[in-house]
Structure 1
Amino acid sequence: MFRFERRARTRRALVVTAALAVVAACVFMCSMMLGSYLLGPAEVLRSVLGLSAEPSVDFIVRELRLPRAITAVLAGLALGAAGSIFQRVLRNPLAAPDIIGISAGASSATVAGLVLFGAGGFGLSVASLVGALVTAAAVYLLAWRGGIADYRFILIGVGVAALLESVTGYLVSRAEISDARAAMTWLVGSVGMAGEGEIIGLAIGCGVVIPVLMALSRRLGVLELGADGARGLGVRPQAETAVQLGCAVVLVALATAAAGPLAFVALMAGPIAGRLLGPAGDRVLPAALVGAVIVQTADVVAQHLLPYPISTGIVTGLTGAPYIAWLLIRNSSPTDSRSER
């Protein structure tokens, strides 16, 4: 009986993961085809593979559309995987990096690099990574009381995020007009701003960190049992928590450096993947693929389905705001429940 259930879960996980990969690939192709100059699937494939003999098509595909589409896929993969890790380690659906200050830390450091030092490319990725890691370490230390409690971690993270957003606003207000305009455009979140350096850094991060998180997924399941349960199974919960969250922070930082703070993608991807999978095992890769679908779809909507183009982050924010309101209503805190009783 147990073996049959295990096979059924494995089969469901494979089907869901494959279906999400197909959907992500289809949205990717649509994003490459759509625009003021419509292209067919064959034209896109020939150009991407270097088989096209039309310079105009190659320019549209390779120079204009391909970097944007790749950034959308990579940013979605990174944010989806990172959000799933935060939510499972902290055992709370609100524990997303854009809620608990990690994205705000990366944003503040990146804006400082843009405004104060004129950084770009690889320099922005480094600044974002440093800002995210320092913020994560600060929240972790401030929330530590002989261990990490999910609600304390989240509340402290919300406070740190508010502080860092004020710092970001101050930096923008003191910048030159051109730098302030660039920073504000970046802060809204858009997959069309990434340069070659940011895309390469994000690709390397996804290619290294996501497989590591997938390899650690069994330990993640042990962490969900709580500190005492994890110790009983031979896992050091605090060290494992630091490793898992550290990997997730790297993904968030690189995605933020490339595309800006895309709101609520990390918050939504994990729960959607969990609903699709049920009890069917590892969620890291499915959550990453859900994130890629969300970001790509948001970018298609932002660029092609509205009267005029807007930034990708506006669409993700408009989509995520009702979700988080529903989540807050649905998940009342334990203290509220006790007071009602």
Structure 2
Amino acid sequence: MKTNANAIAFIMEGRRQRFRRWILVTGSLAALACMLCCAMLLLGNTIYPVQEVIRALMGEQVKGVSFAVNTIRLPRMLAGLFAGFAFGIAGNTFQTMLRNPLANPNVIGITAGSSAAAVFCIVILHTSNTVVSIASVIAGLATVLFIYVLSRGRSFSIGRLILVGIGIQAMLNAVISYLLLVGDQQDIPAALRWLSGSLNGSQMDDLPYLAITVLIFAPVILMLGKHLSILELGEQSATTLGVNADMTRIALIFSSVCMIALATATTGPIAFVAFLSGPIAKRLVGVGFSNALPAGLVGVNLVLAADLIGQFAFEVRYPVGIITGILGAPYLIYLLIRMNRKGSL
């Protein structure tokens, strides 16, 4: 009995230590995100004092400051905040659910589906941002369904899903290239800036749909965090533990795709944020607790930090997607080499 009590005490102490680590990491990521948000509001061609920025945010008309902060910097910061969180938490959901770090929306073609629909609306139909958002969501869901059907075969295979997704992504990228060739010339620069993933030109009118989507579906993923961790053990184990695998998977995929599609429609496909956020959060948090919320915060920090680097670290200003692409491409190569050595590919 004493041995059993000692074992239980040891297990509980380990759980408390992991929980304290989760709290510390999550709190640190949230604090860093707040600092980056403040930097986005304060920094620009002109660095304004904190007091003047606060006055402008409170609605007071401050000459020069009100326009720069409320019209340019605040929408840019909010777009990076919501899009980064959406990319981060959705990417982690796909990677955890499918038990493969390559199974993220960028690699398996979901983002490309939303991008193709958005580019079609921009350069061919010349529609409003609302229509672009709706088309992106529909195209993202349709792409997921199409990839899932093609990867089923006689039985579901994660490896087959990834390979099919990569093929669909290549096809959709070809469609995007064709649309850029046949589209009106005056729309091409805007489409190319959008495809690179950028916070430039973000406006408050573009944000409500993204914000509402994140505020609705992110809590769904967080509430299903324990079920998501159980799904990582495999479908048979999840069913044995009382988890309705099919319904949970549908809810997670639908929530993730909606956030990814709206984020893509708002900021463009910011490269590798969905790919990097989950692994970084997992390294920081460790095992034992869901890393959905930390992954979303990592996504926020990646987007905001990359945007600040793109604006101020070089003589020429680069869109945020170029900076995240520079960070993510080496990690993808490293991951492929490591998985090949382990025989996972």
- 2:42 is matched with which residue: 33, 39, 44? 33
Which of the residues 133, 139, 145 maps onto 1:125?
133
Pairwise mapping of residues 5-16 of structure 1 onto structure 2 (< 5 A)? Answer: 5-16=14-25
Change (3 A) 1:196 1:53: closer
Change (3 A) 1:278 1:25: same
1:67 aligned residue: 75
Q: What SS class does the counterpart of residue 108 from structure 2 fall into? A: coil
Aligned equivalents of 2:99 and 2:164: distance in 1? 16
- Provide the alpha-carbon RMSD of the alignment: 1.5
Opposite residue 13 of structure 2, the aligned amino acid is F
Q: Does 1:3 align with 2:7?
A: no
Asked if residue 154 in structure 1 is aligned to residue 159 in structure 2, the reply is no
Superposed displacement of residue 41, structure 1: 2.5
Q: Equivalent residue for 2:93?
A: 85
Structure 2: give runs of 5+ residues left out of the alignment.
Answer: 1-8
**Is the Cα contact below 8 Å between 2:116 and 2:175 reproduced in 1?**
yes
Q: Which one-letter code corresponds to 1:184 in the other structure?
A: L
Question: How many residues are aligned here?
Answer: 336
Mapping 1:122-201, distance limit 5 Å = 122-201=130-209
With the length of structure 2 as denominator, give the TM-score of the two structures.
0.94
CA 1:132 to 1:194, structure 2 compared with 1: closer, same or farther past 3 Å?
Answer: farther
Moved more, 307-316 or 115-124: 115-124
Unaligned runs of 5+ in 1: none
Q: Deviations over 1:233-256 (max 9, x none)?
A: 122323322221121111110110
Contact (CA 8 Å) 1:78, 1:251: kept in 2 or not? yes
- Relative to structure 2, which stretch is displaced further, 113-122 or 155-164? 113-122
Q: Aligned AA for 1:142?
A: L
CA distance in 1 between counterparts of 2:200 and 2:15 reads 42
CA distance in 2, matches of 1:62, 1:336: 49
Task: Tell me which residue corresponds to 2:325.
Answer: 317
Amino acid aligned to 1:85: T
What is the CA-CA distance between 1:197 and the residue it aligns to? 4.0
Tell me how far apart the structure 2 counterparts of residues 241 and 147 of structure 1 sit (CA, whole Å): 16
Structure 2 contact 55–62 (Cα < 8 Å) conserved: no
Please state how far the C-alpha of 1:321 moved relative to its aligned partner. Answer: 0.6
| Distance in 2 (alpha carbons) for counterparts of 1:197 and 1:53 | 21
Aligned partners of 2:245, 2:153: CA distance in 1, in Å? Answer: 14
SS of the aligned residue for 1:189 comes to coil
| Structure 1 stretch displaced more, 142-151 or 200-209 | 142-151
1:179 Cα deviation (Å)?
A: 1.4
Among 31, 36, 41, which residue is 1:22 paired with? 31
Query: Is the 2:235–2:245 Cα contact (8 Å) retained in structure 1?
Result: yes
Among candidates 51, 56, 69, match of residue 47 of structure 1: 56
Aligned partner of 2:266 in structure 1 is 258
4+ long deviations beyond 4 Å: 333-337
Question: How many Å separate the matches in 2 of 1:280 and 1:28?
Answer: 30
- The superposition leaves residues 209-262 of structure 1 with CA deviations (integer Å, 9 ceiling, x where unpaired) of 111100011110110110111111122323322221121111110110010011
Deviates more, 1:5-14 or 1:222-231: 5-14
Distance 1:101 1:246 in 2: 15
Report if aligned partners of 2:124, 2:184 keep a CA contact under 8 Å in 1: no
Counterpart of 1:22, as a letter, is A
- Could you list the per-position Cα deviations for residues 18-49 of structure 1 after superposition, in whole angstroms to 9, with x for gaps in the alignment? 11000001011111111111112332223222
- The whole-number CA distance in structure 2 between the counterparts of 1:47 and 1:319 is 35
Percent sequence identity over aligned pairs: 38
Question: 2: distance between equivalents of 1:226 and 1:334?
Answer: 20
Distance 1:202 1:333 in 2: 40
Compared CA separation, residues 170 and 235, structure 1 to 2 (3 A): same
